[in-house]
């Protein structure tokens, strides 16, 4: 469905004295998205995820490399490609002065769908995103979660083969996030190819069959969530907290008990196949941490290992 | 992005959007586009104009001061609508509500989006100026029925000639702070000094030349000739050509600047 080879995106920035500088947001990535999968782009802010999404949506010209969507070139077949994809942007682009129904209606008309067809689909979609009783409500009066569901409904008006979601649940409360995950999961079951960006690791684990981790414009890892955890982390993580300032001092005493030990200001992370056993050995050496926790390794551990813990911006 | 040369089919897909916008805003539009200029006509034309006695030759052939300023007010009205529809609304669609971004996510191209919006603006100008002309008719200020009917498409041309350059300007702006200047230093002086309220030769030889260059003077003079039934065809052709060139150049600039803004 989507195939990128050496894909690049750079932005010219005009300097104050007229000399141009180039900023490369995407620096040569290879991506293949197969029909029916949910494909995730992970990465910290500024990793190049959104630039990649915009190129796939055919609203941003490719600066280098090759991009094909449905086998078509966005440079020459932009409108044809856009007719077959649905876009749920990071920032809502709803018309807040129109009501819910009108927002869906005008959007369906942008695609050149006949009025009757659009009206029929609006009823189905409002039901799908649980907004039927809000059909005549002003968008301004909707909660953040409802607006997001409306945006998702809108992106489905043309029955897209690929649905592109840029940070679909950013800023939503946990209940609203779960509703959206549930709806996206149903879409996946209906055979819609999902392409999403997120910096929520739980979201990626919930939704994505395959994912790439991007950092500074390149892909640093690729695979299924489970593969990535197996490759870049251990099965379990033991978290032990000594008092503030004492973690670093304790690290050498436990470094042989795990595959890898990471020292954080407030705790030590012991990456190991058996967290409980590592913990027992720590206690067996007479160390007395304030609190301990043994958990399964998550995508977050992978993510932080690959992209670092320093703030992206 | 490939833009079809004749983007009419795509622009028609936006007709429902603009219809809904119009249904939502027409009541407010009646106030700004009709009631306000009507007050001006009563105050300046009827009440103040009652004190003005001038030779009809000095008033471009108008039998009264009211008959002189009525066509000027209509042309200024066409310009005012063009300004108001291409400043804050354009900024809103680029920046605040980001509606253009939802439009370009569909198969629509920037050229189609611009065409549809200009079509909406021109129809809005036609509606407002049509009502304005109809209300002025009972005052007995129009000398030619056919000229007055022809004045309506001329108002659409005036609206377009102002809408496209201002649209192009607004499409590239980062924020709305420049609009206050556009209104105060652009639109209001044009309204006051482009032959709407007095013949431009009152301005003196230098400023008269400046006034002759302004697009509103071309619109005002053309409208006045038509409604008074005293048309100098050569001059009229120059006016139409001037306004048409402005509209076309502004249009091309609008598509270019809006594309640069949205597709990057």
pLDDT digits 0-9 by tens, B196-232: 999 999 999 999 999 999 999 999 999 999 999 999 9
Name the token pair of A47. 């990793």
Residue B248 burial (CB count, 10 A):
13
Q: Residues B136-157: what's their mean pLDDT?
A: 94
Highest mean pLDDT among A15-19, A210-214, B28-32: A210-214
Would you state the pLDDT for residue B155?
A: 98
Q: Residue B3's pLDDT band (boundaries 50, 70, 90)? A: very low
- ∠B90-B5-B244 over CA atoms, to 5°? 60
Would you state the pLDDT for residue A312?
A: 53
On chain B, the residues whose CB falls within 8 A of the CB of A102 are: 20
Q: Residue A19's pLDDT band (boundaries 50, 70, 90)? A: low
**For residue B19, is it within any domain?**
no
On chain A, the residues whose CB falls within 8 A of the CB of B10 are: 112
**For residue B228, is it within any domain?**
yes
Would you state the pLDDT for residue A49?
A: 92
pLDDT above 60 (res B76)? yes
Say if B19 is an interface residue toward chain A (CB within 8 Å).
no
**Under 8 Å between Cβ of A140 and A147:** no
Would you state the pLDDT for residue B37?
A: 78
- ∠B58-B152-B117 over CA atoms, to 5°? 125
Per-residue pLDDT reduced to its tens digit, A186-238: 999 999 999 999 878 888 888 999 999 999 999 999 999 889 988 888 889 99
Residue B171 burial (CB count, 10 A):
25
Would you state the pLDDT for residue A18?
A: 54
**For residue B32, is it within any domain?**
no
In chain B, which ranges are continuous DSSP H helix? Answer: 8-13, 15-30, 36-40, 65-86, 88-91, 99-104, 110-136, 145-171, 177-181, 188-193, 205-213, 215-228, 233-262
Rounded to the nearest 10°, the torsion over CA A57, A145, A180, A170 is 60
**For residue B251, is it within any domain?**
yes
Which residue range is the domain that position B152 belongs to?
60-262
Please, which residues 136-195 of chain A have a Cβ atom closer than 8 Å to chain B? Answer: 154, 158
Say if A299 is an interface residue toward chain B (CB within 8 Å).
no
Least CB–CB distance from B13: residue in A59, A87, A110 = A110
Say if A36 is an interface residue toward chain B (CB within 8 Å).
no
**For residue B52, is it within any domain?**
no
Query: Is the Cβ pair A93, B108 closer than 8 Å?
Result: no
Total domain count, chain B = 1
Query: Is the Cβ pair B109, A79 closer than 8 Å?
Result: yes
pLDDT above 70 (res A313)? no
**For residue B226, is it within any domain?**
yes
**For residue B42, is it within any domain?**
no
Residues 6+ apart with CB under 8 A from B119: B11, B18
Say if B17 is an interface residue toward chain A (CB within 8 Å).
yes
Q: Which residues pair with A134 in a beta bridge?
A: none
**For residue B6, is it within any domain?**
no
């Amino acid at each position: 469905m989507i195939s990128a080879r050496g894909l690049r995106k750079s932005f010219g920035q005009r300097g104050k004295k007229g000399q141009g500088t180039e900023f490369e947001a995407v620096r040569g990535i290879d991506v293949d998205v197969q029909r029916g999968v949910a494909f995730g782009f992970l990465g910290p802010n500024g990793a190049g995820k959104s630039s990649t999404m915009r190129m796939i949506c055919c609203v941003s010209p490719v600066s280098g490399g090759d991009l094909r969507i449905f086998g078509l070139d966005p440079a020459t077949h932009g409108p044809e490609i856009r007719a077959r994809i649905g876009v749920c942007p990071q920032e809502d682009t709803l018309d807040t002065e129109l009501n819910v129904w009108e927002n869906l209606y005008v959007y369906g008309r942008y695609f050149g769908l006949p009025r009757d067809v659009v009206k029929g689909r609006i009823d189905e979609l409002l039901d799908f995103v649980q907004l039927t009783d809000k059909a005549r409500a002003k968008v301004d009066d909707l909660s953040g979660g409802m607006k997001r569901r409306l945006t998702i409904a809108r992106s489905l008006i043309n029955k897209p083969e690929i649905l592109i979601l840029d940070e679909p649940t950013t800023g939503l409360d946990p209940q609203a996030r779960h509703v959206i995950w549930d709806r996206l999961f149903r879409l996946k079951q209906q055979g819609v190819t999902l392409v999403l960006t997120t910096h929520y690791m739980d979201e990626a684990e919930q939704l994505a069959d395959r994912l790439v981790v991007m950092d500074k414009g390149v892909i640093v890892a690729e695979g299924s969530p489970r593969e990535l955890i197996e490759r870049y982390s251990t099965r379990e993580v033991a978290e032990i907290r000594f008092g503030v300032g004492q973690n670093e001092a304790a690290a050498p005493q436990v470094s042989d008990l795990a595959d890898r030990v990471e020292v954080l200001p407030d705790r030590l992370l012991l990456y190991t196949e058996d967290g409980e056993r590592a913990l027992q050995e720590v206690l067996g050496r007479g160390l007395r941490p304030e609190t301990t926790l043994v958990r399964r390794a998550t995508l977050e551990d992978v993510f932080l290992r690959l992209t670092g813990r320093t703030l992206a911006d | 992005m490939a833009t079809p040369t004749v983007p009419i089919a795509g622009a028609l897909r936006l007709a429902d959007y603009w219809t809904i916008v119009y249904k939502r805003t027409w009541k407010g539009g009646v106030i700004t586009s009709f009631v306000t200029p009507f007050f001006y006509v009563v105050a300046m034309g009827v009440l103040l104009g009652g004190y003005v006695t001038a030779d009809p030759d000095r008033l471009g052939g108008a039998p009264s001061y009211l008959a002189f300023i009525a066509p000027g007010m209509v042309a200024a009205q066409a310009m005012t609508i063009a300004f108001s529809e291409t400043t804050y609304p354009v900024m809103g669609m680029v920046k605040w509500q980001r509606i253009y971004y939802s439009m370009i996510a569909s198969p629509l191209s920037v050229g189609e989006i611009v065409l549809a919006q200009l079509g909406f603006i021109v129809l809005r100008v036609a509606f407002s100026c049509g009502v304005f002309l109809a209300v002025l008719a009972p005052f007995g200020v129009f000398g030619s029925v056919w000229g007055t009917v022809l004045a309506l498409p001329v108002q659409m041309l005036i609206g377009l000639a102002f809408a496209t350059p201002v649209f192009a300007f607004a499409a590239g702006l980062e924020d709305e702070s420049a609009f206050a200047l556009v209104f105060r230093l652009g639109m209001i002086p044009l309204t006051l000094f482009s032959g709407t309220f007095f013949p431009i030769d009152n301005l003196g030889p230098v400023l008269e030349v400046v006034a002759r260059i302004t697009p509103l003077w071309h619109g005002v003079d053309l409208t006045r000739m038509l409604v008074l039934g005293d048309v100098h065809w050569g001059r009229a052709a120059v006016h139409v050509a001037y306004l048409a060139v402005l509209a076309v150049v502004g249009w091309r600039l609008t598509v270019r600047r809006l594309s640069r803004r949205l597709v990057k």
